[in-house]
Structure 1
Amino acid sequence: MVTVGIIIYPDIQALDLAGALDCFGQANQELLAAGKQPYYRHYIVGLTTAPLCAENGLQLTAQYSLDTCPRLDYLIIPGGAGARKLTVNQDFMHWLCLRSVDTDKVLSICTGAYLLAHSGLVNGLPLATHWRFAADLQTRYPKVQVNATELYVKSGKFYSSGGMTAGIDLCLAVIEQDLGVAIAQAVARELVMYLRRSGDQSQYASPLKIQHSGEQRFIQLQQWLLVNLTKPLTVADMAEQVALSERQFRRVFRDRFAMAPVQYLQQLRLDKARSLLLCDGYNLRRICNEVGIKDPRSLIRLFNAAFGCTPGEYKQHFC
C-alpha cells in the first residue's frame, strides 16, 4: 500500500488539503467497488498534533507530528498564506529535505511551491505555481524555473501544480500513473469534474469535449498540438497524427466534437494566449510567437470575437 502524507500548517488552504484527500480516497473507493484492495493510505502530518486553523477558519488536527511521522511514499505540500511563513521554520525545512530523500514522489499544490523552492530541492528544475504568485516566487528563488502557465509540471520525483483546482488535476495524473486511466477517469467523474486536464494545458484552458470523449487518439492529438502551437499547423498535419485522410478526419472530428478542426486549434491558441497575458514579460508580439498567431492585430481581433474583450482589457480585469 502506498503511504501518502499531506502536510498541514496554520493558514493552509483547505481546498488543497481536501482535494488531495478526496482524489486518493475516491481512488480507494473505486478499487473497493471493483473487488480490489485499497491502494493508498493517508497520513495528515503537522509540525505538532495541536489543533490549528486553515485560512478559511476550518479547524484541523494532524494524526502525526514531524517527529512521529511514519515512512512516506508520497509527500504532498498544500499551499496557503501560511506557506510563505513556514519557509523560515528551520526544523520543518530540515525535515522536508530529509524526508524527500527516501520519498518516491513530492507534490506541491499552488503556493506550496514556496516551500519546495525554499528547500533548494528543485533548483534548476521547473516548478509550477498559481499565476498570481509566479513573479514573486521567481524573484525570491531565481535558481528555480517558475512555470506560471501550465496546470502542473513534473521533473523526476518532484511534481507541482498551479492553482487550487489544478492540484486535483495533478493528483488525478498521479492516480493515472499508479492505477491507469480508467480509475483516474472514474475518480474525476465521481468528483463531478467536467474534464480531466493534462498538465500542459493552460491554467485558464476551456473545457474541451475532445478530452471528455475518452478517445485516446484525439487526446494524443491534443497533446501534440499543445507542444507544436508555434508552428503553422494545417488540418492535413492533424489528420496525419491520427492516421486518417484529411477528408475523413474533417468528417470524424466534426461528428465527434461538433466543431471544425481549425476552430479547435484556434481555441487552443487563444486559451494559451490568455494565460500568457497574465505572465510578466509577455507583450502581444511575444504571445503571438508563442501561440502561432500571425500578428498582434490578428490576436486582438480573434480575442475580441472569442471573449468579448481585448487582450488589454482581459489582463486589466485579472491583474
Structure 2
Amino acid sequence: MKRRDFLAAGSVALVGVMLAPQLLAATQEKPLQILALVFDDYETLDLHGPVEMLGHMKNVQIKLVGAKSIIRSYQGPRVVTDVSMEQVTPCDLFIVPGGLGTRSLVEDATLLSWLNAQAAVSNKVFSICTGSALLAKAGVLDGVSATTNKMAYQWVMSLSNKVHWQPSARWVDEGKFLTSSGVSAGTDAALFYVRQLRGDDEARRIERLTEYHWNDDSAKDPYAVEI
C-alpha cells in the first residue's frame, strides 16, 4: 500500500499504525473533523446520506479513508480516498457505513485491528447499517448498547455476544458511540448528531434545506425485529 505524498511528513507510531502528529492539536478555529471509512461494496446511501446532512454545518471538514485510493460502492459509483489506512487520524466523528462489503471484511484481521486503533483516537464513532458488524467484530462495541440493519440483525448479532443489541431502535446513542439501523436510518441519526452538537435549530435548518423528512424519534423503528 503506497503512502500518500501529503501524509508522508513526520509521524509517530500508535498501536501498530501511524499517527500524524500535526492532526493531534485541536483549536476552536479548527474545523470539525469528520472521517468516513469506505470499502468496496459499501452501501451508497449509508455514507452519502449522513455526509449530505453533516456537510451543511459550518466549519466542517470531511475526509474519506480506505485501503486503496479508489473505492467502488455497491451501486457502482466510485470515490477517491483522502487518507491512507497506514495511519490513524484523530477526528471528532468517525463514520463506518455498512453494505455487502462488510460480509467479508468481518474476517479481515488487518482492518479490524485498524478499526480498534482508529476508534481510540475518534471523539465519537458513528455506524450506519451493518457498519456496526465491523465495530462489533473488532471488539469496539463491547459492553455498548447498539443497533444495526434489522434485515441483517441476526447475522450482526451473531458476531458478538458482548454487545447489548437493541432489536427496536432507529438509532442508539451511548456516549462515544452512535449506531443506526438500515441505510436511511443513518441520515436520521446524522441529523440527531447535528442537533446534539449544534442544537435543534441547526438540525431543522438542514432538514428544510435538504427537503428531507426527518424521523427524529430514535424509538420509532418501523423495521424492528422480534427476538
> Which interval holds the TM-score relative to the shorter structure?
0.7 to 0.9
Q: Do the aligned partners of 1:75 and 1:105 also contact (CA within 8 Å) in 2? A: yes
Deviation at 1:196?
A: 4.1
Residue 66 of structure 2: aligned partner: 46
- Runs (5+) with no aligned partner, structure 1: 29-37, 205-274, 282-319
Matches within 5 A, 1:151-166: 151-166=170-185
Superposition deviation, residue 68 in structure 1:
5.0
Secondary structure at the residue paired with 2:36? Answer: strand
**Is 2:50 aligned against 1:20?**
yes
Match of 1:84 in 2: 103
Match of 2:165 among 146, 151, 154: 146
* Structure 2 counterpart of 1:180: 199
Specify the code of the residue in structure 1 equivalent to 2:85.
L
Gapped regions of structure 2 (runs ≥ 5): 1-30
Please say if residues 20 and 168 of structure 1, whose CA atoms lie closer than 8 Å, have aligned partners that are also in contact.
Answer: yes
- Mapped pair 1:130 → 2:160: no
* Deviating 4+ runs (over 4 angstroms): none
| Higher relative contact order, structure no. (Cα contacts within 8 Å, ≥ 6 residues apart) | 2
TM-score (structure 1 length as normaliser): 0.59
When normalised by structure 2's length, the TM-score is 0.82
Q: Which has the higher strand share?
A: 2
SS in structure 2 of the partner of residue 186 of structure 1: helix
The amino acid across from 2:36 in the alignment is I
Identity of aligned residues (%): 25
Q: Measure the CA separation in 1 of the matches of 2:173 and 2:165.
A: 12
Selected match of 1:64 from 78, 83, 86: 83
Query: What's the Cα RMSD here?
Result: 1.5
Query: Matched residues in 1 for 2:88 and 2:120: separation?
Result: 15
Deviation at 1:194, TM superposition (A): 2.1
Q: Structure 2: how far apart are the matches of 1:85 and 1:127?
A: 21
Instruction: Please show how residues 1-319 of structure 1 align to structure 2 within 5 Å.
Output: 1-28=31-58, 38=59, 40-49=60-69, 51-68=70-87, 70-202=89-221, 204=222, 275-276=223-224, 279-281=225-227
